[in-house]
Amino acid sequence: MEILYKSTRDSEKRVTASLAILQGLSEDGGLYLPTAVPSLDKSFAELSGMNYREIAYEVMKLFFTDFTEEELRYCIDKAYDSKFDTEEIAPIKKVDGTYYLELFHGSTIAFKDMALSILPYLMTTSARKNNITNEIVILTATSGDTGKAALAGFASVPGTRIVVFYPKGGVSFIQERQMITQKGDNTLVVGIRGNFDDAQSQVKAIFGDDEFKAELDKAGFQLSSANSINIGRLIPQVVYYVYSYATLLAKGEISDGEMINVTVPTGNFGNILAAFIAKKMGTPIDKLICASNENKVLYDFFKTGLYDKNRDFILTNSPSMDILISSNLERLIYLIAGEDSEVNKSLMEDLKNKGSYTITDSMKANLDSFVGGFATEDETVGEIARLYKEDGYVIDTHTAVASYVYNEYRKSTGDDKKTVIASTASPYKFINSVMKAVAPDEAGEEFALVDKLSSISGVKIPNAVEDIKNADILHNMVVDIDEMKNTVRDFLK
């Protein structure tokens, strides 16, 4: 069955998968969604005998229907190879009866690698299929992890350039160091004076700037996005939820058809939306537990139906989730509004103009699979300490938010279905906060703490950290929000 993509803000619009990937965001400002979510066409009994690459193909072939089998398998094989430090790609660790799905074994040690390892291949294949001759310029706002994962994917890829904007002072030491040491003539990394939401909103505004688009086109460039608004990122994230279920079944941890819950540490709502899509495809997932840090706009939304970003932006120890405008929520809003682009559009206009919107009761009733929860910074550190003390397992701050929220959920509801927790980053990436939890008496500079954590936990220091220890700093530009467009212009000169 051919799947086309439609915009959440225009019900008439239809584009192929490859065009949706190339554009990133629809011209009307909406996000692309498949016209129908396809069902898995293999049983879990069959899928449970497959490895990650094979399951990736089984999922993606259903969505990227204008790719040939050869094209898609090429993209998958290039993406999920020895860049990952484990043959399993996404290993599952059973700790304290719960399954931690480790999504951080790629080259930049955060879950963004799961999709950003394949996006450059999907994008260059899409460009070829559509006879694009312009150079593709990837414009990305990052809360810390997308930036490096996108840079790693696109650096030195012919026919592409990449510009990453990150909030100066709003990312971890290791995250910043990873980005500003990035090599590759086609890369630019820029700190901005503002927070992630400022960066993301300005990037979206640049995408919507028709004059700028025409100017770039004349110069032989076109913009695309590596943020999770791109379906080329969203769909590859569906894979690991299908893979988790198949793997738990293969290991005899669950029986075929048994319902499981999934808990996801959430910021821009991309990862948990992928789990929701996996559920819609037929994966037996019951609850989707959405875990926030103190920027708990989603927790409040699930409780009340009011989405309200008018509040202080809090810098926390889980910076990749320091977000008040969760872009991918728009896709869910559209779906719970019965795929009504007019309803969605007017709510998104409210968000833009007033900073808030309220959904109707009938829309709220469609959210019954979602549960919201949040953890404070202290609860997050406490959860890392608890798992380390009780089980010797060290998790990062984002995963700890999810782990804490899940345990509170289980205690308060008695729901003890088997649960997969998305483990989204290596603890080494957030070394200061993690060491505060596992060895509070240790002090020192970050790389010394890295060595300490390795000797305490027995977990090898990832290459991603070794590589930046002595790397030169190649990017040191910091600009105001209103200078972002000119920064892009200068880079392309």
Ligand X SMILES: *Cc1c(COP(=O)(O)O)cnc(C)c1O
Q: Would you state the structure tokens that stand for residue 82, as one six-digit string? A: 């020895």
CB of 236 to ligand X, least distance (A): 12
Q: Name the residue nearer to ligand X (CB basis): 232 or 254.
A: 232
CB of 446 to ligand X, least distance (A): 17
By C-alpha distance, which of 327, 232, 221 is closest to 20? Answer: 232
CB of 67 or CB of 301, closer to ligand X:
301
DSSP, residue by residue, 174-214: HHHHHHHT---TTEEEEEEES-HHHHHHHHHHHHT-HHHHH
Judged by DSSP in three states, 279 sits in: helix
How far does the chain reach from its first CA to its final CA, in angstroms?
A: 43
C-alpha dihedral sign at 29, 32, 33, 35: positive
Smallest gap from residue 383 Cβ to ligand X (A) = 14
CA-nearest of 239, 79, 229 to 152 is 79
Please say which residue, 329 or 348, places its beta carbon nearer to ligand X: 329
Beta strands in 293-336 (DSSP E): 306-308
CB of 154 to ligand X, least distance (A): 17
Give the residue with the Cβ less far from ligand X, 67 or 276: 276
Residue 39 CB, shortest distance to ligand X, in Å, is: 24
Least distance (Å) between residue 272 CB and ligand X: 6
Angle, CA 21 vertex, CA 16 and CA 25 arms, to 5°: 100
CA distance 267 to 92: 22
Cβ closer to ligand X: 124 or 142? 142
Give the chain's length.
493
Q: Which is nearer to ligand X, 249 or 262 (CB)?
A: 262
Contact 80, 50 (CB under 8 A): no
Which segments within 226-309 are labelled E, that is strand?
Answer: 260-265, 285-292, 306-308
- Whether residue 24 contacts residue 223, with contact meaning beta carbons closer than 8 Å, is answered with yes
Cβ of residue 19: shortest distance to ligand X, in angstroms?
23
In the complex, minimum distance from the CB of residue 172 to ligand X, in angstroms, rounded to a whole number: 10
Q: 3-state class of 141 per DSSP?
A: strand
Q: Which residues bind ligand X (CB under 6 A)?
A: 110-112, 145, 228, 265-271, 320-321, 398, 424-425
User: Using an 8 Å Cβ cutoff, are 302 and 377 in contact?
Assistant: no
CA of residue 151 relative to chain centroid, distance: 15
CA gap 267, 112 in Å, rounded = 12
Task: Compare residues 261 and 399 and give the one whose CB is closer to ligand X.
Answer: 399
Nearer of residues 32 and 44 to ligand X, judged by Cβ: 32
Structure tokens at 274: 């992928």
Nearer to ligand X, 112 or 287 (CB): 112
**Least distance to ligand X, CB of residue 14, Å:** 26
* Cβ-based nearer residue to ligand X, 111 or 334: 111
Smallest gap from Cβ 329 to ligand X, in A, equals 10
Determine the Cα–Cα distance for residues 294 and 209; give it in Å rounded to an integer: 33
Residue owning tokens 């709220």 = 364
Determine how many CB atoms are found less than 10 A away from the CB of residue 458.
9
Residue (50 or 431) nearer to ligand X, CB: 431
Q: How far is the CB of 319 from ligand X (least distance, A)?
A: 9
